[in-house]
Amino acid sequence: MGQWMDGYLEKLANNERETREGGGEERVRLQHDLGKLTVRERIDCLVDPGSFQEMGSLVRDTRGDLGESPKPSPADGVVMGTAEISGRLVMVYGTDFTVMSGALGDQGVWKIAELVEMAGKEQVPIIGIFDSVGSRIGFTRGFVGLHGLARLVRNYCLYSGVIPQIALVLGPCAGPLAQVPVLSDFLIMNENTGFLWMGGEIESEDGGRAEFHMTRSGQVDLLAETDEEAMDLTRRLLDFMPQNCWEDPPAHEPTDDPNRREEALLDVMPDNPKFTYDIHEVIDLIVDDGEFFEVKEDFAPNLVVGFARFDGMPVGIAASNPDELSGIMEPDSSDKYDRFMMFLDNFNIPLVTLSDTTAYPPGDKWERLGVIRHGAKNLHGYSHLTNPKVTVVLRRSYGGSNITMGCSKMGPDFIYGWPTTEFAPTGPESIVLAVFHKELAKAKEEGKYEEVYDFYLSILKEQFSVMNMGKAFTHFYTVHEAIDPRETRPRIIRALRMSRNKREEVPKKRRSVKPA
C-alpha cells in the first residue's frame, strides 16, 4: 500500500474513535447514573452480535463551516445503520444523549430521514431509539433542520404499512420530534426514564411520563422497567411481523397440540350472567403454550388486543373483556381496536376476535365524547380488512357490537358461537331501563330499586336465552356453527388453515375516507 494512503487512514481512524467515544467519558458516566444505556450499548443489546454496520458516522454539525465554534458533535448525535435481529435484516437508529443531550441537529435529522427512506426501499423494518431534549439551537438555520424534520415525518407516513416501524422512547423526547414515535406502528417506553411531550405546561404530576401515555393518551403500547427489557420487548414484537407488507408473517414450528380440547373453558364463564369474568383466562387457554403478548394493556382495558400463535401461526387477537366496564365499546377502546386492525391488515396477520360485549354505551356523557364517531371508525376499518378473520362469540353480542366485533355479515371468514351466545339489537339491561322506567322510579322512592330491577332483568334474560338458543343458531348467516367451548382452539386453527391462501379485495379506489 502506498504511503500516500497513510494520512487518510489515520484521519479516518481518528474520526471513528471520536465517533465511538460520543460525548466523552463524563457524559457516558452521567448517562449510566441516570439509569440509561448509551445509544451504542442499546443497539448492541438489541441486535445480533457483530451485525451492526454503521452509516453516517463521519457527519458533523455544519455550523463550524459558517465560522462558528459549536460543541463537538460526533455523528451529529445520531448513530444509525443496518443490523440483524434473529437473523432478520433491519435498520436501526438512535439519538445520542451524550452529545448535547441528544438535541437534534440539521444533519442528524436528515440522516434519520434518509435511513427511513432506505428502509422503505429495501423493504426491511425500521427501529428508532429516542433519547433527546428536542431540537438543537440553530436547528432552523436556513430551514435545513426544519426541512429535514418535514422529510422525516413524510417518510414515516409514506412507508407506514409498507414496513414495520417500532419506536423506543428511553429518555426525553420533546417538541416536534415527539410526533415521530407516535407515527410508528408500536411505541415502547421506559417507565422510569422515558418522557414524551409536545410542549406547553404540564398540569399533572405524571404528564409526559410512560404511565400517563399508557393509561391516558393511549400512545404507548408497551412499558419496560429498563433499557434491556425494552430491547427484549422489541425483539418479541418483531417476531410476529413480516419484513414488509408483501411477505407472510413468520410462522414457528408448533409446540402445542392443535387438537387440544380445553376442559377448563367450561369453568371460566359464571353461571349468573350478572357476574363477569376475565377474558385473559379464555385467551391463555386457547393460544399456543398459553403465551399471549398483549399491547396497550392499561389503556381501555375493556378491549384486549395483542399477539399470539395458533399451531405456530402468528395472529392478532381482539377480545371484549367483560371484567372491565362489561366489555363496552367506548371511544378509547374503539380507537385502540381500529389502529390494531389496520396494522394486522397491512401485514396480512390474521385477526381472531372474541366477542362478549353489551356494545356501545348509551347516554349524554358518551355522545359528547363522540361514541358514534369513534365507533364508525371500527365499522369503516373492519369493512376494509382483507386479512384472514375468525370470530368466536362467547356470550353477548348486542347492538352495534354484532357488526363491530366481526359478526353479522361484515365479512369474517368463519364465525362460531358458544351455546351461551346471545344476539340482540340491544341488551336486556337497556330494555329494562327504557320499558320499566316508571316502575323503577317508583321502586327507587320506596327503596326497592335493586329488587325490582333484578326482577324485570331476570325475566328478560330468560327470554333472551330462549330466543337465541331457538333462533340464532338456526340461521346460517348468524354463525357458521355452534361449538362446544372445549373445541374453541381446534376450530380456530382449522379456520386459520383454511383461510391461509384466501384472496379478498375491496373496490379499487384512491383511498377511502375514514370517519374523523
Does pLDDT of 139 surpass 60? no
CA atoms in the 13 A half-sphere facing the CB of 2? 3
Let me know: does 110 contact 153? Beta carbons within 8 Å.
Answer: no
What is the CB neighbour count within 10 angstroms for residue 122?
Answer: 15
Residue 184 to residue 462: CA distance in whole angstroms: 48
Higher pLDDT, 420 or 488: 488
| Architecture of the 11-238 domain | Alpha-Beta Complex (3.90)
Condensed to tens digits (0 to 9), the pLDDT of residues 316-333 reads: 999 999 999 989 899 999
According to DSSP, the residues that pair with 173 across neighbouring strands are: 132, 196
Residue 21: predicted pLDDT: 85
Among the ranges given (29-33, 240-244, 318-322, 512-516), the one the predictor scored with the smallest mean pLDDT: 512-516
Q: What percent of the chain has pLDDT over 90?
A: 59
- Going by DSSP bridges, is the β-strand pair 313-320/303-310 parallel, antiparallel, or unpaired? antiparallel
Residue 461: predicted pLDDT: 62
Average pLDDT on 392-413 reads: 83
According to DSSP, the residues that pair with 481 across neighbouring strands are: 416
- Going by DSSP bridges, is the β-strand pair 126-132/165-174 parallel, antiparallel, or unpaired? parallel
Average pLDDT on 263-281 reads: 91
Condensed to tens digits (0 to 9), the pLDDT of residues 322-373 reads: 999 989 899 999 999 999 999 999 999 999 999 998 878 877 888 899 888 9
Residue 428: predicted pLDDT: 64
Average pLDDT on 119-138 reads: 91
Higher pLDDT, 198 or 296: 296
DSSP structure class, residue 209? B
Q: What pTM did the predictor assign?
A: 0.89
Higher pLDDT, 461 or 196: 196
Condensed to tens digits (0 to 9), the pLDDT of residues 213-251 reads: 999 999 999 999 999 999 999 999 999 999 999 999 999
Could you tell me the fold of the domain covering 263-421+479-499? 2-enoyl-CoA Hydratase; Chain A, domain 1 (3.90.226)
List, in sequence order, every beta strand (DSSP E) within 425-467: none
Condensed to tens digits (0 to 9), the pLDDT of residues 470-486 reads: 455 555 567 889 999 99
Count Cβ atoms within 10 A of the Cβ of residue 3 and give its class: 0-12 exposed, 13-18 middle, 19 or more buried.
exposed
Residue 449: predicted pLDDT: 83
* Residue whose entry in the numeric block shows the C-alpha cell 383466562: 281
* Residue type at 18 in one-letter notation: E
Residue 469: predicted pLDDT: 45
